[in-house]
Amino acid sequence: MTMKETVEKILTENDIVEVISEYDIVEVISEYVELTPIRGSRFKGVCPFCHGKDLKFKIDHARQAYYCFDCEKHGDVITFLKDHMGLSFWKAVKELALRAEIELPEMPDNA
């Protein structure tokens, strides 16, 4: 069983949804990436993963998701923090929960 599978057995889907719902992906990503508004509820910036020269990193506020057209990284607020900060899935969820003052079940330190 992978660590993510272990975490998902301890955390319920409701726990994860609660953490995600506390955040606006645009606000979180803008802490790390300079974003420029484009049409509607979309934003663009330089990808923090591949550091391409063009603004091919897109964030869709309505869908609460991001996608890079260069390196094809994509995901939600948890995935962004996990990949950008080099955290495990559990530590990314825990970091966001701590910021939002949401209590989660305890996990082993190596998770």
Tell me what the mean pLDDT of segment 91-109 comes to: 82
Whether pTM > 0.75 for this model: the answer is: yes
Element (H, E) at 111: none
Residue 42 burial class via C-beta count within 10 angstroms: exposed 0-12, middle 13-18, buried 19 and up: middle
User: In which band, very low, low, confident or very high, does the pLDDT at 72 lie, cut at 50, 70 and 90?
Assistant: very high
Residue 62 burial class via C-beta count within 10 angstroms: exposed 0-12, middle 13-18, buried 19 and up: exposed
Tell me what the mean pLDDT of segment 45-53 comes to: 91
Q: Please tell me the predicted confidence (pLDDT) of residue 26.
A: 95
Give the tokens for residue 28: 């979180």
Query: Does residue 7 or residue 42 have the better pLDDT?
Result: 42
Q: Please tell me the predicted confidence (pLDDT) of residue 6.
A: 57
Q: What angle do CA 21, 62, 36 make, to 5 degrees?
A: 110
All domains in the chain, ordered by first residue: 3-99 (3.90.580.10)
User: In which band, very low, low, confident or very high, does the pLDDT at 100 lie, cut at 50, 70 and 90?
Assistant: confident
